Chain A
Amino acid sequence: MTGISVWFADFSDLFYKCFIKDDRYRLLVSGVGVTIKVSLLAVLIGILIGILVAVSNLSRNKLFKAIGSIYTDVIRGTPSVTQLMVIYFVFFASVNLNKWIIAAIAFGVNSGAYVSEIIRGGILSVDHGQTEAGRSLGLNAFQTMTRIVIPQAVKNIFPALCNEFIVLIKETAIVGYVGLMDIQKAGDFIKSATYEPGMPLFGTAVIYYVLIKILTLTLRQVENHLRKSDAR
């Protein structure tokens, strides 16, 4: 047999052993579900917290400002694994909630700190003349913010927000620490069960890569749509 066919025979054996035998692929499929669930909810929570904190940071209220900056500071200064474990084992220790929801809250709280900075920068990047034009027409501060400034900020924010979303999906690979079976943990589990490290880990990597590729391409479409008012 030539080298390639040997390699291929080995590969298919390994593939069978790691993914097909005992229906092991099912672990990965449900892992994909967990990763997506946790990431989606975390993104929503992150955006919500991000908006609140960004607005607090931009407000004139000293208390809001202080809370916002302490929060951002603490989140950025500690590892996300530590944050996840503190939230899971300490803050939510006696709360009866689905594991994945608690994990999503932890990642959302983490992501919110980064999202708030992105949003703050995005709002500040809109020329002040836009606010003046809105106010000069008689719009109040809130109407000017929601109808004029934020729609423009969104366009500036969007690429950075997509990037944050992608980072977040990869960050969720640590949910195994609190006993959730996501993609990473499923790959790990197969590794232990088969004593084969390479195939399950490459499988894990490929699944993450494909997920993120699909997401990137979709978000790029959305971004192109947002840019339709730019100079052509």
Chain B
Amino acid sequence: MIKVKNLHKKFGGLTVLNGIDEHISQGEVVVIIGPSGSGKSTFLRCLNLLEDVTEGEIYVDNELINTPKVNINVVRQKMGMVFQQFNLFPHLTIMDNITLAPVLLKKMSKAEAVKRGQELLERVNLAEKADAYPAQLSGGQKQRVAIARALAMNPEIMLFDEPTSALDPEMVGEVLDVMKDLARSGMTMVIVTHEMGFAREVASRVLFIDQGVVMESGTPQEVFSNPKNDRTKLFLSKVL
């Protein structure tokens, strides 16, 4: 589904990603862990080209996407993204946040989009908030709306960039529950997180990224219980 070949990313003279090769298949839930500054968020943001790629190739559904020939807007329509800071549109109601893109991009009529929006809000347990504005919601509620907004485009893949890092501790659970539910439904997901318990429970595969390369990759069992790489061991000893 996503194939990454020899991905490099430099910010000026600073090399953040230093040759990543990765293949993410349909239905996989890939959780990316690693110390801060390791490049894990940058890797995720390269997947939908929110960051320009310095070198290397990214294929989505066997189509090379980091080339001017491709209309990236169309590719992004099948890749939902959830941000650490939620990034809800504060000037729009919750329902309008969800329906803006599907209607504007002509994926659905307004009526269909509202119906789908209502279903999605029920799915994230926020059906009664359709007419509220983002400022009236708690952090956990905002993030659940952000997930619903991304799902409204019926994406094939969902990218999560530290979705619980900006939340108060008591709100982390409600967001992780929605994500677990999504994983069980068979959605392909790539998740950057510091929630090791969640990674262990939900991931089909865990990637440990450090210094811009994938240091270790395997099932949660393999990576958490039996890490082979010394850096992985060191990192896990600090966070577990």
Contacts and interface: CB of A to CB of B under 8 A. Distances in A.
B73 A129 contact: no
Interface in A83-116: none
Contact of A231 (B77, B135, B153): B135
A221 B52 CA distance: 44
Interface in B81-123: 81, 83, 85, 87-93, 100-101, 104-105
Nearest to A153: B91
B198 interface: no
A152 B136 contact: no
Chain A, interface SS category: helix
A136 B88 CA distance: 12
14 contacts: A130-B89, A132-B83, A135-B73, A136-B76, A137-B101, A137-B153, A139-B73, A139-B101, A140-B73, A148-B89, A152-B91, A229-B133, A230-B135, A231-B136
Interface of A: 127, 129-130, 132-140, 143, 147-148, 151-152, 155, 229-232
B89 A133 contact: yes
Contacts of A152: 89-91
B153 A138 contact: yes
B83 A155 contact: no
A139 B91 contact: no
B91 A132 contact: no
B90 A132 contact: no
B89 to A, nearest CB: 6
Contacts of B93: 229
Given A135-B76, A137-B77, 6 more contacts: A129-B83, A133-B87, A138-B101, A147-B100, A152-B89, A229-B133
A138 to B, nearest CB: 4
Contact of B76 (A130, A137, A147): A137
A127 to B, nearest CB: 8
A138 B74 contact: yes
A35 B51 CA distance: 51
Contacts of B83: 129, 132-133, 136
Nearest to B105: A138
Given A133-B83, A231-B135, A139 B92 contact: no
A143 B104 contact: yes
Contacts of A232: 135-136
Contact of B85 (A129, A138, A140, A155): A129
A136 B83 CA distance: 10
